[in-house]
A and B are shown apart, each in its own frame.
Chain A
Amino acid sequence: MRYIIIGGSAAAISAVESIRSLDRESPIDLFSDEETPLFSRVLLPYYVAEELSKPLLNFRTSDFFEENRVTAHMGVKVTDLNPKTKTIKASDGKQYGYDKLLLATGGRAIIPPIPGIDKEGISTLKTMADAERIYNMKGKRAVVIGAGSIGVEACISLTRRGIKATLLEQLGQVMPTVFDAEAAAIVRKRIEDLGIEVFTGEKAVQFKGDKRVTGVVTDNRDLPCDMVILSVGVRPQTELAVQAGLAIGDMKGIRVDETMMTSVPDIYAAGDVAETHDIARDTWFLNAIWPCAFEQGHYAGLNMAGRKTAYPGSYRRNSIGNFIGIPAISMGVTAAESCAMVSDEDEFREIRVRTKESYKKLVLKNGKIVGAILVGQTQKAGLMSILLRKQVYVADSIPLLMSDRLSFMDLLPILRRNADQFSEPEYKELMDTGL
């Protein structure tokens, strides 16, 4: 068996670990267009903030490839994928054959078509080269366009380095795909308290400056600046998939089945490039987040190495960590309205509890959790996560779930009711206590 993995981030490395858990011998060739191996993309804002040096961005030790007997081709781009001959061509001029191939090519940062976008001092924050470029930019004022997770973290990172940052978002709130309006307001207040200017419902229409950017013109004002960071989202990198004739989904990701296999036999896809079944939305979706990439890589690896294992499906999960001073976690859908394919029979419900320091919200569809937001008190967020993942009926336990004193032990009756879905030994152990 010869394995080829295209990509070098979460999904790719997770797949290597899973393949090696079943197959210690077969050769694995890994291709990544990044020169730096094993760094964690989600930590790049920490690098910009000077909180982590380069070696600390690694999510696996530097001997990982050696330990797992992987031939890593770093900085080598795969230019051609031929499913008929089961070969690839790479930028090193060579051709490689495979029996099983994984496309873990991830996403590419979107560059919006705004006049003046090609000026110097404007960068996305996606690759190591991006992070280094931003880190080395000189100036005192920055405008960050797009208030998603990366945008917010980039703003805070620059602020920590003494750069005055302005955050611009064309939708009506910060982190629109992560939080509802209420949670976003809490987060926004925290961001503003750090000295960051936030404008929502406002669009960048032009970049000023000759060679180098000197300002951003929005539909409301002029924002003078020395640098611009673009964080308006990512798109799956599907060039190879398209060229090889793989099925592409409505969200422009590579469609995969339960085994993470694409429409072409022996070619698998995982991570930000893969369009999977979203448990919360009950439709195909791109969940371009680290935990999904890792899980998908795991299932792809097992299936590639011959152990048929069904991926239970993806769902969005975001945590903004210590960046804003209070923990905030969100998963699934943020509001009932954002559920796709609503049939007349579906019953949606939102439950909210707001205190001075915390906010908690559950979104239920037919009595099952499809979304949760927790701000302030987040330690029990994972309980919502597992109830969402397993799609169990909880409508009769709402006061319990919304309680500050919720403990996993309180969920045991719900677990027992759905014992067939909680077959893992960890749950069995606790169910068998009879409590």
Chain B
Amino acid sequence: MVDKEKCTGCHQCELWCGTEIASTSKDLARAIQETPQPVPRVYVEGKPFALQCRHCEEAPCLDACPNGTMRRDPETGLVYVNEPTCIACWMCVMVCPFGIINPSSSLKVAVKCDRCKNMGYPICAEVCPTGALSLVERKDYRKKKF
């Protein structure tokens, strides 16, 4: 979750999401020179607030994906892109109400937050200097258990 009182809009989460998750070098100075340019999966736009995939209960991207590339992890409920099978049709982009799926024309895959499901802890929360980003269960909002 994001604590908007603490978010200063510093874009650190974007920077490190792009570096740690998307780049091949995993080094900020080198990452910014990489081609294709690494893209972050979290967005600080308009307001001081880090917006990433909401992993919707009724996720429209899951309905729109024509070949099962967009998947929901049955244990965690997280929605993720199975990159090897993505055919870059951008149907998920077309329906995502939050606009957080990046149609990466250079990578030819849909890029979105999977809450760092392979890393244990999300990098955006780890690097947030004010502690505005943190990983907590929001049971009060989400009634559905996956």
Q: Report which A residues bind B (CB closer than 8 A).
A: 10, 14, 40, 42-43, 46, 51-52, 56-61, 290-291, 294-295, 298, 317-319, 321-322, 325-327, 329, 331, 378-383, 385-386, 405-410, 424-430, 433-435
Assess whether A317 is in contact with B47, with CB atoms less than 8 Å apart.
no
Assess whether B94 is in contact with A319, with CB atoms less than 8 Å apart.
yes
- Residues of A near B47 (CB, < 8 A) are 407, 409-410, 435
The answer to whether B35 has its CB under 8 Å from any CB of chain A is no
Assess whether B87 is in contact with A291, with CB atoms less than 8 Å apart.
no
Q: Knowing A319-B91, A321-B88, A382-B96 are in contact, say whether A291-B45 is a contact too (CB < 8 A).
A: no
Q: Of B63, B66, B94, which is within 8 A of A43 by CB?
A: B66
B: number of interface residues (CB 8 Å): 43
Question: Smallest CB–CB gap between B74 and chain A, Å?
Answer: 11
Q: Of A43, A325, A382, A408, which is within 8 A of B51 by CB?
A: A408
- Residues of B near A56 (CB, < 8 A) are 67, 85
A-B pairs with beta carbons under 8 A, tally = 146
- What are 27 A-to-B residue pairs whose CB atoms are below 8 Å? A40-B66, A42-B89, A46-B87, A52-B87, A57-B67, A60-B68, A291-B60, A291-B63, A294-B64, A295-B63, A319-B90, A321-B89, A322-B87, A322-B90, A325-B105, A331-B94, A378-B93, A382-B99, A408-B98, A409-B51, A410-B46, A410-B47, A425-B57, A426-B57, A426-B98, A429-B141, A430-B51
B85's nearest neighbour on chain A, judged by CB, is A56
A328's nearest neighbour on chain B, judged by CB, is B90
Question: Smallest CB–CB gap between A111 and chain B, Å?
Answer: 25
Assess whether B97 is in contact with A327, with CB atoms less than 8 Å apart.
no
Which residues between 44 and 84 of chain B lie within 8 Å of chain A, taking CB atoms?
45-47, 49, 51, 54, 56-58, 60, 63-68
- The residue in B58, B93, B97 that gathers the most chain A C-beta atoms within 10 A of its C-beta is B97
The CA-CA distance from A190 to B54 in the complex, in Å, is 35
Assess whether B91 is in contact with A327, with CB atoms less than 8 Å apart.
no
Assess whether A294 is in contact with B49, with CB atoms less than 8 Å apart.
no
Q: Knowing A327-B90, A329-B94 are in contact, say whether A407-B4 is a contact too (CB < 8 A).
A: no
Q: Report which B residues bind A (CB closer than 8 A).
A: 1-2, 4, 43, 45-47, 49, 51, 54, 56-58, 60, 63-68, 85, 87-91, 93-103, 105, 108, 138, 141-143
Assess whether B51 is in contact with A322, with CB atoms less than 8 Å apart.
no
Assess whether B64 is in contact with A327, with CB atoms less than 8 Å apart.
no
In addition to A317-B64, A385-B94, 12 A-B residue pairs with Cβ atoms within 8 Å of each other are A51-B87, A58-B67, A58-B68, A291-B94, A319-B93, A319-B94, A327-B90, A327-B93, A380-B99, A382-B60, A408-B98, A429-B141
- Residues of A near B43 (CB, < 8 A) are 407
The CA-CA distance from A181 to B91 in the complex, in Å, is 22
Q: Knowing A408-B97, A426-B56, A433-B49 are in contact, say whether A294-B63 is a contact too (CB < 8 A).
A: yes
Assess whether A291 is in contact with B103, with CB atoms less than 8 Å apart.
no
Assess whether B58 is in contact with A291, with CB atoms less than 8 Å apart.
no
Assess whether B90 is in contact with A14, with CB atoms less than 8 Å apart.
no
Identify whether the interface residues of B are mostly helix, strand, loop, or mixed. Answer: loop
The CA-CA distance from A246 to B69 in the complex, in Å, is 36
Q: Knowing A407-B47, A425-B57, A435-B47 are in contact, say whether A322-B105 is a contact too (CB < 8 A).
A: yes
- Residues of A near B1 (CB, < 8 A) are 429
B58's nearest neighbour on chain A, judged by CB, is A424
Q: Knowing A322-B88, A327-B90 are in contact, say whether A290-B46 is a contact too (CB < 8 A).
A: no
- What are the nearest 3 A-B pairs in CB distance? A407-B45, A321-B89, A386-B97
The CA-CA distance from A109 to B131 in the complex, in Å, is 57
Assess whether B66 is in contact with A435, with CB atoms less than 8 Å apart.
no
Q: Of A408, A424, A430, which is within 8 A of B99 by CB?
A: A408
Question: Smallest CB–CB gap between A177 and chain B, Å?
Answer: 16
- Residues of A near B91 (CB, < 8 A) are 290-291, 317, 319, 321
- Residues of B near A51 (CB, < 8 A) are 87
- Residues of B near A43 (CB, < 8 A) are 66-67, 87
The CA-CA distance from A409 to B42 in the complex, in Å, is 13
The CA-CA distance from A429 to B101 in the complex, in Å, is 19
- Residues of A near B4 (CB, < 8 A) are 433-435
The CA-CA distance from A270 to B51 in the complex, in Å, is 34
The CA-CA distance from A378 to B96 in the complex, in Å, is 11
Question: Smallest CB–CB gap between B17 and chain A, Å?
Answer: 16
- Residues of B near A426 (CB, < 8 A) are 54, 56-57, 97-98
Assess whether A425 is in contact with B142, with CB atoms less than 8 Å apart.
yes
Question: Smallest CB–CB gap between A150 and chain B, Å?
Answer: 13
The CA-CA distance from A428 to B105 in the complex, in Å, is 32
